[in-house]
Amino acid sequence: MSDVSTPTAHPPVTDWVNDFDHTDPKWTENPFPIWDELRAASPVVRTERFLGCYLPTTYEAVREIANDTEHFSSRRVIVRDVRPEVARNAAPPITSDPPEHKPAKQLLLPPFTPDAMKKLEPRIRAICNELIDGFIADGKVDAAAHYTKHIPARAIAYMLGIPESDSDLCINWIHMILELGIKDESKLVQAIQEMSGYFADHIEQRKQKPADDLISYLINARDKNGQPLEDSHVHGSLRLLLIAGIDTTWSAIGSSLWHLAKTPADRERLLAEPALIPTAVEELLRAYAPVTMAREVMKETTISGCPVKPGNMVLLSFPAANRDPKMFPDADKVVIDRRENRHAAFGLGIHRCVGSNLARMEMQVAIEEWLKRIPDFRLDPAGTVTWSQGTVRGPRQLPVLFGKA
């Protein structure tokens, strides 16, 4: 077992090509020019930080790694200062490799199909409007704190069958795991313990009295031998659904509103042509993909001609891949009606995000309902937009003013 680490400050980066750090404040604030610099240097760069970590900088290199489960394992999917014991944080299927991956993934897929999302959509629309009711009269709002955060948190709480009012608890655990936990393992351990206790109660209740929710679904699920899942599997999957379902979509909706707040031409286009919103959502996902995953190198190989060696992690930057000009013309611009868009925001290969249909539906509904009720809005010049650090990037403060300037 690895020792619980104490948090350490990272020295500021001066040489991005040989010493990158995705937790550096410059990366957090504006990663796009950094990715361009790294991509110009090499398809794969490496840092000594995080006990050794590669970063593929091109779409092709990211695709190669995502599709190569022989040399790259998903057993650790977050790049941290330490390498916590693998089993303790297992959250199948995201941390699974073949052959365990497929059955664990198939188990989770049916509740997240587009048809299942259609049934959920009215509740999401109602959540958006309840949130807007709470602040529309104020003429301004921190959209990250009062809108974008709560939509996915309440949606996943609703799907799991836990009280929507407990979604703040969940948000706090996720903050401890995804942000504080990168540098302070004790926060990670504490959050996982608290989540396990919370869900143990709910699992016990569902065993007594099943309900039409995801917790009951997992309890009733059977593996390929017809056996119920082990409790650790149920806990791991519940942890995954919470962790993966909240920060990510919070970020994606937030980046979308941030873009629309500062880009009146795109906002007016969507107001005039609401049917374009699904296409716009794809482009906003491409340009501001929130999620960077990780792999661990298991066997020596080469990626886009660059040697990679075991013992290192890989920061699998789908957001950087989405900005590769070889793959996307005008990659650095938001082209709101982009027709051809093979973006990798939800990953590539077998680990494609289970919740992609949910995220897309939430983004569409959140943007539609916001634009219906708040057609004109802009960044508040008196406020500051702040961004989350690390694995998931999106606005955590997004002060906007309503009405025309």
Q: By CB under 8 A, name the binding residues for another protein.
A: 106, 109-110, 112-115, 278, 282, 339-344, 346, 348-350, 352, 356-357
CB of 74 to another protein, least distance (A): 14
CB of 215 to another protein, least distance (A): 20
CB-neighbour burial class of residue 320 (10 A; exposed 0-12, middle 13-18, buried 19+) = buried
Distance CA(240)–CA(231), nearest Å, equals 14
CB of 316 to another protein, least distance (A): 14
Q: Give the closest residue to 92 by CA, choosing from 190, 204, 239, 191.
A: 239
Alpha helices, DSSP H, located in 231-321: 231-262, 264-272, 277-287, 318-321
Nearer residue to another protein within complex by CB, 352 or 372: 352
What's the CA dihedral at 358, 195, 248, 367 to 10 degrees? 60
Alpha helices, DSSP H, located in 161-220: 167-175, 181-183, 185-208, 214-220
End-to-end CA distance of the chain: 57
Distance CA(53)–CA(14), nearest Å, equals 17
In DSSP notation, 369-384 reads HHHHH---EEE-TTS-
Cβ neighbours, 10 Å, residue 255? 24
Task: Give 329-333 contacts, CB < 8 A, sequence gap 24+.
Answer: 332/32, 332/36
Nearer residue to another protein within complex by CB, 313 or 331: 331
CB of 318 to another protein, least distance (A): 10
| CB proximity list for 264: less than 8 A, separation 6 or greater | 378
CB of 286 to another protein, least distance (A): 10
Nearer residue to another protein within complex by CB, 42 or 341: 341
CB of 360 to another protein, least distance (A): 8
Nearer residue to another protein within complex by CB, 106 or 193: 106
CB of 39 to another protein, least distance (A): 19
CB of 113 to another protein, least distance (A): 4
Nearer residue to another protein within complex by CB, 115 or 212: 115
CB of 167 to another protein, least distance (A): 25
Nearer residue to another protein within complex by CB, 112 or 250: 112
CB-neighbour burial class of residue 306 (10 A; exposed 0-12, middle 13-18, buried 19+) = middle
Nearer residue to another protein within complex by CB, 185 or 282: 282
Residue 143 and residue 400 in contact, taking contact as beta carbons nearer than 8 Å: yes
Nearer residue to another protein within complex by CB, 51 or 276: 276
Nearer residue to another protein within complex by CB, 113 or 232: 113
Distance CA(191)–CA(390), nearest Å, equals 17
